[in-house]
């Protein structure tokens, strides 16, 4: 069945519910180039303004999946579970989490992306390791999953090609914020990759895409429902992103911090979230008989990390890039650190060269920010607060004021926000839909 694109646009513009046939046609036609970018831009804006019903989002996601291939991971020989984070500052959790879960007996087919703006990208971080490559063929992907149990790589061109086109379009048309399009974008790729279970880390706060709890809940519930509808055991965890995760914000320095966690150390918040998400992934995959804390302490996760890096051409023992230019910022008064704005810290790291403004921009492996304090810590006047790192001293000038202003020091300590805010599973979603 064929439609006129303008009629589909008008229908959604006027608040109508799109039919299955309309959705199937418009996604397929856009993928083939029959529907032009300007027409899909208009439809995306109509969806942003008018929204979509649950059945519409489900059909839209199914059409995105159908635009490409769906991988079969049965050859992995064990249960599979993946994790997706909606993005944040200092969020290196995928790096220690993937080998940890694999060491617990669950294969992890982790398809990751690159950073844009103030949020970092997992692939950018790993590419700071000499020799490591992000691109794998489907056969390489499946072989590594079977032999090592863990893969972190870029999504292949055959997975949800409709999403790849639409994602780029949303970025330049002011429609990134549309929750139906966010949910279908994330879930179409995760479902197409073939994982049996999925844990979603939905960030909330200044450094997250979702700034408030209500929007984060809506996104989480929508994605959990989509996963369940496609036979993927899905759970979402809402986590705080008002403060950066860990002490390192950058590429190579986040790899270093991740290795510290795998070695049994690392910042408490990174360890806490890594173990919490590992337990969720293992439970979703049916492996509640293993405690990831024991595996982490026993060194099994570190062994799996080294195997994973080598399998993709990397040298886990090679020195990582170090930025030649550094500057330390100091506290101007005694007191307590009561806030550390994740967004401002993320933008400062981007200005230092750790991030990119456009997808085609290069990033610096060594640039970034090392935090010396965290919210709740007491400080004395003249005490180091953070260290700026860059390849070019001129970049430090552009980041200094923003980074310093991100830290609030007061006379009295403030109450701490819990790192893990809420858990949303399918029974909870079903109850909310029927109430």
DSSP per position, 213-231: HHHHHHHHHHHHHHHHHTT
pLDDT classification of 366: cutoffs 50, 70, 90: very high
Q: Could you say which of 125, 189, 217, 356 is catalytic? A: 189
At residue 116, the pLDDT reads 67
Is pLDDT of 177 > 80?
yes
Residue range 228-257, pLDDT digits in tens: 999 999 999 999 999 999 999 999 999 999
Q: Could you say which of 67, 128, 184, 185 is catalytic? A: 185
In the chain, the domains with their CATH numbers are: 5-51 (1.20.970.10), 74-317+422-434 (3.40.1030.10), 325-410 (3.90.1170.30)
Range name among 114-123, 130-139, 401-410 with the lowest pLDDT average? 114-123
Is pLDDT of 90 > 70?
yes
Q: Could you say which of 163, 240, 269, 344 is catalytic? A: 163
At residue 427, the pLDDT reads 61
Is pLDDT of 402 > 90?
yes
Residue range 187-241, pLDDT digits in tens: 999 999 999 999 999 999 999 989 999 999 999 999 999 999 999 999 999 999 9
Residue range 318-354, pLDDT digits in tens: 999 999 999 999 999 999 999 999 999 999 999 999 9
The percentage of the chain sitting over the pLDDT mark of 70, rounded to a whole number, equals 97
Cα separation, 350 vs 365, in Å, equals 12
2 part of the active site: no
At residue 42, the pLDDT reads 97
41 part of the active site: no
Task: Name the phi and psi angles at 292, rounded to 5.
Answer: -60, -25
Closest CA to 269 of 389, 91, 79: 91
Produce one character per residue of 87-105: b if its CB has 16 or more CB atoms within 10 Å, e if not: bbbbbbbbbbbbbbbbbbe
Residue range 139-156, pLDDT digits in tens: 999 999 999 999 999 988
Residue range 66-86, pLDDT digits in tens: 999 999 999 999 999 999 999
Task: Give, in degrees to the nearest 5, the angle at Cα 405 between 404 and 407.
Answer: 80
Q: Quote the tokens at residue 130.
A: 């000499």
Interval 357-362 mean pLDDT: 74
Interval 115-133 mean pLDDT: 89
Sort residue 115 into left (φ over 0), alpha (ψ -120 to 50) or beta.
beta
Cα separation, 363 vs 98, in Å, equals 24
Beta bridge partners of 379: 335
Closest CA to 346 of 208, 240, 211, 212: 208
At residue 434, the pLDDT reads 35
- The position carrying tokens 């981007």 is 350
Q: Could you say which of 12, 59, 84, 279 is catalytic? A: 84
- The position carrying tokens 């990174």 is 270
Cα separation, 24 vs 61, in Å, equals 10
Residue 68 per-residue DSSP state: S
pLDDT classification of 432: cutoffs 50, 70, 90: very low
Interval 27-36 mean pLDDT: 96
Cα separation, 126 vs 134, in Å, equals 8
Closest CA to 315 of 323, 325, 324, 305: 305
* pTM of the predicted model over 0.85: yes
Provide Rg for the chain, Cα atoms: 22
pLDDT classification of 172: cutoffs 50, 70, 90: confident
Helix (H, G, I), strand (E, B) or coil at 50: helix
Q: Could you say which of 170, 190, 203, 221 is catalytic? A: 170
- 218 burial class (0-12, 13-18, 19+ CB within 10 angstroms)? middle
Task: Give, in degrees to the nearest 5, the angle at Cα 253 between 391 and 121.
Answer: 90
Beta bridge partners of 199: 83, 235
DSSP per position, 202-268: EEESTTSSB-SHHHHHHHHHHHHHHHHHTT-EEEEEEEE-SS-SSSEEESHHHHHHHHHHHTT-S-H
- 263 burial class (0-12, 13-18, 19+ CB within 10 angstroms)? middle
185 part of the active site: yes
Cα separation, 213 vs 224, in Å, equals 16
Q: Are 94 and 82 in contact (CB under 8 A)?
A: no
Arithmetic mean of pLDDT over the chain:
94
Residue 129 per-residue DSSP state: S
- 291 burial class (0-12, 13-18, 19+ CB within 10 angstroms)? middle
84 part of the active site: yes
423 part of the active site: no
The percentage of the chain sitting over the pLDDT mark of 90, rounded to a whole number, equals 87
At residue 113, the pLDDT reads 83
Beta bridge partners of 238: 202, 422
């Amino acid at each position: 069945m064929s439609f006129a694109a303008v009629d589909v646009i008008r229908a959604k513009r006027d608040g109508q519910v799109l039919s299955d046939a309309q959705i199937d046609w418009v996604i397929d036609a856009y993928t083939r180039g029959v529907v032009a970018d300007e027409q899909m831009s208009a439809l995306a804006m109509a969806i942003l303004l008018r929204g979509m019903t649950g059945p519409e989002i489900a059909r839209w996601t199914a059409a995105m999946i159908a635009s490409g291939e769906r991988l079969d991971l049965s050859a992995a020989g064990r249960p599979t579970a993946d994790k997706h984070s909606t993005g944040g500052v200092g969020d290196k959790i995928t790096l220690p989490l993937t080998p940890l879960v694999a060491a617990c007996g669950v294969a992890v087919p982790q398809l990751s992306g690159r950073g844009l703006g103030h949020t970092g990208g997992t692939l950018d971080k790993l590419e700071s390791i000499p020799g490591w490559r992000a691109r794998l063929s489907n056969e390489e992907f499946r072989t590594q999953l079977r032999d090592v149990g863990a893969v972190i790589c870029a999504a292949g061109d055959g997975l949800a090609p409709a999403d790849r086109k639409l994602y780029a379009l949303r970025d330049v048309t002011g429609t990134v914020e549309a929750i139906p399009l966010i949910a279908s974008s994330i879930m179409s790729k995760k479902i197409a990759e073939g994982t049996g279970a999925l844990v979603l880390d939905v960030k909330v706060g200044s450094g997250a895409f979702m700034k408030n709890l209500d929007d984060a809940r809506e996104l989480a519930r929508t994605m959990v429902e989509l996963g369940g509808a496609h036979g993927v055991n899905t759970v979402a965890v809402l986590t705080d992103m008002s403060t950066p995760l860990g002490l390192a914000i950058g590429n190579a320095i986040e790899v270093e911090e991740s290795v510290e966690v795998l070695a049994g150390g690392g910042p408490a918040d990174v360890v806490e979230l890594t173990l919490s998400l590992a337990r969720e992934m293992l439970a979703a995959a049916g492996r509640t008989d293993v405690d990831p804390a024991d595996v982490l302490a026993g060194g099994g996760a570190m062994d799996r990390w080294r195997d994973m890096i080598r399998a993709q051409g990397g040298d886990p023992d090679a020195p990582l890039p170090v930025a030649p230019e550094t500057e330390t910022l100091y506290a101007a008064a005694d007191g307590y650190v009561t806030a550390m704005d994740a967004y401002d810290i993320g933008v400062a790291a981007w200005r230092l060269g750790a991030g990119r403004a456009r997808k085609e921009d290069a990033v610096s492996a060594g640039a970034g920010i090392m935090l010396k304090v965290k919210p709740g810590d007491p400080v004395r006047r003249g005490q180091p607060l953070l260290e700026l790192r860059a390849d070019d001293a001129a970049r430090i000038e552009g980041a200094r004021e923003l980074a310093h202003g991100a830290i609030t020091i007061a006379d009295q300590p403030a109450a701490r926000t819990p790192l893990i805010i809420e858990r949303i599973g399918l029974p909870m979603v079903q109850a909310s839909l029927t109430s």
